[in-house]
Amino acid sequence: MFSPYYKRSGRGDPLDHASLNVALYGPQHRWVMTERGRGAVERDASNLVIGPSAVRWDGEALTIDIVEGDTRLFVPWQRPVRGRVRVFPEALNRTAFALDGAESHIWHCLAPRARIEVEMSSPGISWSGKAYLDHNRGAEPLETGFNTWHWSRAHLNEGALVCYEGERGDGSLFASALRFGADGVPEPVDLPPIAQLPPSKWRVDRRTRSDIGVAEVRRTWEDTPFYARSELASRFAGEEVVAVQESLDMRRFSSPLVQFMLPYRMPRRAR
């Protein structure tokens, strides 16, 4: 949905603009988002192949086999990024939610709680821990439907809480909070108070929710001209939590400067 090539093409053939995005943070950081054409894409009900990488669902886990190279500004060669990620849902949610009245944008939290196992051979790192799995789809460009959005998710002692809010393209506002039980079933709950966050280094406005109207940015993982992803210390449902938060500004995404910059972070190959 962020592909500059797909945008320029008129968005007629999404399978001709496929990529696997991998973001590793920390001392061994890597960034992967190489777009490939239709000839490099295969899919069926349980499998998706994009170039040399593949994603498959076996009924128990989502397995992601990564065979990619990283992208760095002003560096012409790529470092190999190789490994396997396995996501084990603790519960599956079958209910999807429309983010607009026309139902042009759908969000589906598939697994509000999950386990993850990461085994990377290049760079040589591995870990296991908590995970989350969701899915977005739409019938119109994202920048048509939205000006901004803010999203956050936290594991609770039982289940998880997700907050979603923003401004649609027509200027109307939306906001919701969903608590997912241990069985994955969602239940709307009252929105916690707004907790303002400092802007990112690129001056992207950030916002989240917290029981006490206060949250702390522990780390900013992704900081771009139109998108920021952060780790927060917050409080939801009476619990002290570590939350993942993202803020997106689609007006910035649509600017000529950002569209000029994107290919440097998202190269394209035919296969």
On the 0-12 / 13-18 / 19+ scale of CB atoms within 10 A, 87 is: buried
pLDDT for 145-181, tens place per residue?
A: 999 999 999 999 999 999 999 999 999 999 999 999 9
Spell out the SS3 assignment of the chain: CCCHHHHHHCCCCHHHCEECCEEECCCCCEEECCEECHHHEEECCCEEEECCEEEEECCCCEEEEEEEECCECCECCCCEEEEEEEEEECCCCCCCEECCCCCCEEEEEEEEEEEEEEEEEECEEEEEEEEEEEEEEECCCHHHHEEEEEEEEEECCCCEEEEEEEEECCCCEEEEEEEECCCCCEEECCCCCEEEECCCCCCCCEEEECCCCCCEEEEEEEECCCEEEEEEEEEECCEEEEEEEEEEEHHHHCCHHHHHHHHHHCCEECC
User: Does the N-terminal peptide bond of residue 263 adopt cis geometry, omega within 30 degrees of 0?
Assistant: no
Locate 137 and state its tokens.
């789809």
pLDDT at residue 250 tops 90? yes
pLDDT tens for each residue of 58-68: 999 999 999 99
| 186-241 confidence digits (pLDDT tens) | 999 999 999 999 999 999 999 999 999 999 999 999 999 999 999 999 999 999 99
Residue 243 has pLDDT above 80, yes or no: yes
| Confidence tier at 271 by pLDDT (50, 70, 90) | confident
Name the residue ranges covered by the structural domains of the chain. 4-269
Average pLDDT over residues 87-109: 95
Q: Residue 19 has what pLDDT?
A: 97
Confidence of residue 84 (pLDDT cuts 50, 70, 90): very high
The mean of the pLDDT values for the chain is: 95
Asked whether 200 and 220 are in contact (CB, 8 A), the reply is yes
- Give mean pLDDT, residues 98-117: 96
Please give the pLDDT value at position 191.
94
- What percentage of the chain has pLDDT greater than the value 70? 100
Count of Cβ atoms closer than 10 Å to residue 115 Cβ: 15
Yes or no: say if 16 and 9 are a contact pair by the CB < 8 Å rule. yes
In this model, does residue 80 exceed pLDDT 90? Answer: yes
Backbone angles phi and psi of 12, in degrees to 5: -90, -25
